[in-house]
């Protein structure tokens, strides 16, 4: 069982649920005091960990057996006095999952980090719809 511990930042985005082939691995994503358990698979992940650096980030992209996406991340530290900080979001569509990985800077400019991009490309090997959602941006609703 894979566990991602974190803050109380679970959100649901998107409306559509798709069915996928049966998956047998039970996964658990921990958001602070609450555990979210589901049948699914890890589609992709990426880490910024490098030798000699005490802090790094990790991004995980899961897909549940009912077609939802779980986007999780972890801010890791090997500094003894620091705790790892984690987050997770549940998204109903590939587009919502991709949107969840975007960030906004101080000038409200939308961007996606290289780390999130690497996780998306890794996940795209198993889920082409996720990669297609990343490569196609809808400008109107």
- Is 139 inside a domain boundary? no
- Is 50 inside a domain boundary? yes
**pLDDT for 141:** 61
Per-residue pLDDT of the chain (141 residues; tens, 9 = 90+): 343 333 333 334 433 333 344 556 899 887 766 777 899 999 999 999 999 999 999 999 999 999 999 999 889 999 999 988 888 999 999 999 999 999 999 999 989 999 999 999 999 999 999 999 999 877 766
**pLDDT for 37:** 87
**pLDDT for 21:** 47
**pLDDT for 7:** 35
Domains held by the chain: number: 1
- Is 21 inside a domain boundary? yes
**pLDDT for 23:** 59
Task: Give me the residue label for tokens 């699914």.
Answer: 40
Segments forming the whole domain that contains residue 106: 3-129
């Amino acid at each position: 069982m894979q566990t991602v511990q974190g803050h109380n930042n679970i959100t649901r985005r998107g409306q559509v649920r798709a069915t996928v082939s049966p998956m047998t691995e039970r996964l658990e994503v921990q958001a602070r005091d609450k555990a979210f358990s589901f049948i699914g698979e890890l589609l992709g992940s990426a880490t910024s960990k490098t030798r000699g650096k005490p802090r790094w980030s990790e991004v995980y992209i899961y897909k549940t057996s009912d077609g939802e996406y779980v986007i999780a991340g972890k801010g890791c530290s090997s500094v003894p006095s620091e705790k790892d900080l984690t987050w997770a979001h549940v998204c109903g569509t590939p587009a919502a999952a991709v949107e969840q990985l975007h960030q906004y800077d101080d000038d409200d400019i939308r961007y996606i980090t290289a780390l999130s991009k690497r996780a998306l490309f890794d996940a795209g090997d198993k889920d082409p719809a996720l990669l297609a959602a990343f490569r196609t941006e809808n400008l109107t609703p």
